[in-house]
Amino acid sequence: MRCPGENILRGVLSHAKSVRIFALEDGANLLTRLLSLILLLGVLSSTTRCDAQQTALDSLRTKGILVWGADQEGGGPFVFPDDKDPTRLTGFEVEIAELIASHLGVKAQFQQGQWDKLPDLLDRGDIDIVLNGFEWNPGRAERYGTSIPYYIYELQLLARVDDDSIKKWDDLLTTPAGRPRKISLLGGAAAEEYVERFAGDKVELALFDGVTDAMRGTELGTDNIDANVQDLPIWSFYKKDFPLLHAVGPPVGRGFYVALVRKGDTALLQSVNDALLAGFRDGRMRKIFERYGMWNEVQALRALETRGDHGFVGLTTADAATGDGTNSADAAEPSMATSQSTGGLKVIAQRGWFLVRAAGMTILLSVTAMPLAVLIGLVMALCRLYGKWYVATPAACYVEVIRGTPLVLQLYVIYFLVPEMLKSIFPGTHFSISAFWSAVAGLAINYSAYEAEIYRAGLQAIPKGQMEAALSLGMTRGLAIRRILIPQATRIVIPPVTNDFIALFKDTAVCSVITVVELSKEYYIHARNTGAIVELGILTAVLYLAMSYPLSLLAGRLESRLSKEARS
Amino acid sequence: MISLKNVVKRFGSQDVLCGVSMSVARGEVCVLLGPSGGGKSTLLRAINGLETFDGGSIEVCGTSLPPQAGSAREAAMLQIRRRVGMVFQQFNLFPHRTVLENVIEAPMHVLRQPREQAIAKARSLLERVGMLGKCDARPTSLSGGQQQRVAIARTLAMEPEAILFDEPTSALDPNTTAEVVSVMQDLAKGGQGMIVVTHGMHFARNVAHTVHILHSGSIIESGPPEQVFENPQHEVTRGFLSDSR
């Protein structure tokens, strides 16, 4: 589905922006390369796990579980919550994962991860295999074990039905409105590379995080978007949701979806290939693709299918029909093809519980991280105010560095880089930080810098006479700080800390980059899979408000009480 | 018991104390008088280590106080502060603790007295300063005079051999000043040693054993109050006393 190079950090850098303008990319690229180089060095230094190679397949057999990674947010037809029973995952890759697992004689276990971070999860050892529309390319094959293709995809140009000015690919190069055409794409997708090659800078690109967002943007003409280039299977799956869009021109840019394993897990890779080949031969793979409206002539050209008597199946009449593959998909009347857009209260009734449950994760993250943040912040503030220079200077640096870097980057470093670094420092040992605790640590560290400054101001606001009185009573400085200053400073900092707590509640959303599914991520998953952006969006907003408003009230009440105390 | 020899203190290029020598005996009530800016508070704060000094020596209860920061000074300050208490112009009660908690704080956490013992002691001290009825009140709800009396009880709880009073009544109105002065008189009668920086002539005249007049960083005149007040030798003292009358 999407792809290009090994710019793993690109996602981090572009996280906050759902739409990037193409011209901005070059600058970011240099930084991205630098960062990936650092990352690569870290990874290389620890990939000397010779004896691990042979045991990868054995160990997952011993565990009886094949852990496969994908991102539900990518949606249909890949991996998405089932329309009828959203507790269940469905999608053609879910079925392929089960097919592979059963071939290995183990159970398939799904691991959610942000799409562009899935290869990192593989490196980290959290998952055994990535199965999520990753396109084969030489760079990827260099770094990871790539299976034989389980699907041959093509790209489809989409335009608005009422737009007569785009009838073929070459129309993209025309400028009827006196400006270059604007094309929406999934950020980092193969389509981006194709369009770049086709049109270079003669068109403008609008990069989205989600495929349905890109289609919706095109349908609405948001920000003068003229057209969308989409993976054909995605278009086949979602076309019913976008009646104002139509396919323009033939499918182009053929490529391969492959499964990824760690480089060197050759035994596992071979088993995956065997499983896929067996699935193709006996028609199970074809059935899977037919269920999702994805089977087309291009897949049939593999010419692997055999009947029960081992005779070649050949092209059926439906497959043989020429024209674009989507027509044949329609003819097959697949049971699960196309998402069923459910709207209104029904969606909320059906999926609301997932959001409420994810809100629980948001709360858990916040209430675990915030006390830690306050504690670290207090220690840093004390070091800066009362420590000798060799304590105060590092504390000041800590605050500045943490305040000056984005939370996403900190989470990324804690989750992906720290375990690698520890492994290379202490070879032979296994370090693993769970996603949840990485998220807690990241949030706590990030907010500790702000809490440190709040506490510093709070401590400085206490009249000098308090310390003098305490010292005159024979207290040591430490005792005076502990018994007299900190309790008073804590009263002063309660209102600003409560405000930060509310901010932290919302910042937990960033933790989805390290596979933690909290309220925002859960919203994206369900909104993009159902199209109920507004309904679920309102529910999500209500949930956030329900969590933060009591805190606001509390902050207000504390503030007025404290100011009253100060006046009397 | 407290002995200062030739103490010098500079703030930048300004000499605040230019060689002050004095000594205070056990149980002695010593009053520092003089025009504002004469260095009285600085001298007092130097005695228990709240200010460093630049020359001379200070010895309190047999402990010599090093003039500048260092671990030796830290240790000496702890020794001195357990024996010499201080009462401030702004009271400096701990606002997050009740009256009783203010008084038991140091006995419990510095002297490690059991809570019951500290409370019993605190109650008797609060009774002595007339504040027993306000045990559970917050300092912020008290008048200035009440706060200062609690502050005195808080200092007494450490059973100091001497108490340094830094303008204890300057922030008070005349009525509440009288409450505090009567407590201080009562303490003096009980044999409590103290060094008092004040503008209250009445207290100096009636309670002090010794009066020192500090002017521009030097003691220009010392003696029993009757001598200093009735027969001042120094021009500045005469001017100061007539202004204060």
Phi, psi of A228 (to 5 degrees): -135, 140
Angle in degrees, CA B92, B94, B95, rounded to 5: 105
DSSP code at position A177: T
Tell whether the model's pLDDT for residue A23 goes beyond 80: no
The predicted model gives A214-236 an average pLDDT of 87
Which stretch of A198-212, A364-378, A395-409, A492-506 has the lowest confidence by average pLDDT? A198-212
Mean pLDDT, rounded, for A451-457: 96
* pLDDT given for residue A415 in this prediction: 83
Asked if the ipTM is above 0.90, the reply is: yes
Question: Model confidence over B103-137: pLDDT tens digits?
Answer: 999 999 999 999 999 999 999 999 999 999 999 99
Q: Which residues contact B85 (CB under 8 A, 6 or more apart)?
A: A472, A473, B155, B156, B158, B160, B162, B163, B164
Query: Looking at the partner chain, which of B77, B96, B106 has a beta carbon nearest the beta carbon of A473?
Result: B106
Write out residues 120-179 of B within 8 Å (CB-CB) of A: 138, 140-141, 151, 154-155, 158
With an 8 Å Cβ cutoff, are B77 and A471 in contact? Answer: yes
Contact A471 B93 (CB under 8 A): no
Confidence (pLDDT) at A176? 81
Mean pLDDT of A454-480: 95
Q: With H, G, I as helix, E, B as strand and everything else as coil, classify residue A160.
A: strand
CB-CB under 8 Å, A475 with B94: no
> What local confidence, expressed as pLDDT, does residue A24 receive?
38
* Residue contact A475–B82, C-beta within 8 A: no
pLDDT tens, position by position, B39-75: 899 999 999 999 999 999 999 999 999 999 888 999 9
Q: Which of B88, B105, B140 sits opposite A568 (nearest CB)?
A: B140
HSE-CB for B19 with a 13 A CA cutoff: 1
- pLDDT for position A100: 94
CB B203 within 8 A of CB B191: no
A488/B contact by beta carbon, under 8 A: yes
Alpha-carbon gap: B94 to the closest alpha carbon of chain A (Å) = 7
Query: Model confidence over A96-129: pLDDT tens digits?
Result: 999 999 999 999 999 998 888 888 889 888 899 9
Q: Residue A346: is its pLDDT beyond 90?
A: no
- The H or E element containing residue A32 is helix A25-44
At a CB cut-off of 8 Å and minimum separation 6, what does A306 contact?
A: A281, A282, A283, A312, A313
Residues from chain B that touch A465, judged by Cβ atoms under 8 A, are 88, 90, 92
Of chain A, the percentage scoring pLDDT greater than 90 comes to 38
Q: Give the per-residue pLDDT at B245.
A: 58
Contacting residues of B for A479, CB less than 8 Å apart = 109-110
- Mean pLDDT value of segment A389-408: 94
What angle do helix axes A519-530 and A211-220 make, rounded to 10 degrees?
60
Distance (Å, rounded) from C-alpha A357 to C-alpha A408?
A: 23
- DSSP per residue over B162-204, as a string? EEEEESTTTTS-HHHHHHHHHHHHHHHHTT-EEEEE-S-HHHH
| Beta pairing, strands B2-11 & B14-24 | antiparallel
pTM value is: 0.74
Confidence band for B200, pLDDT divided at 50, 70 and 90: confident
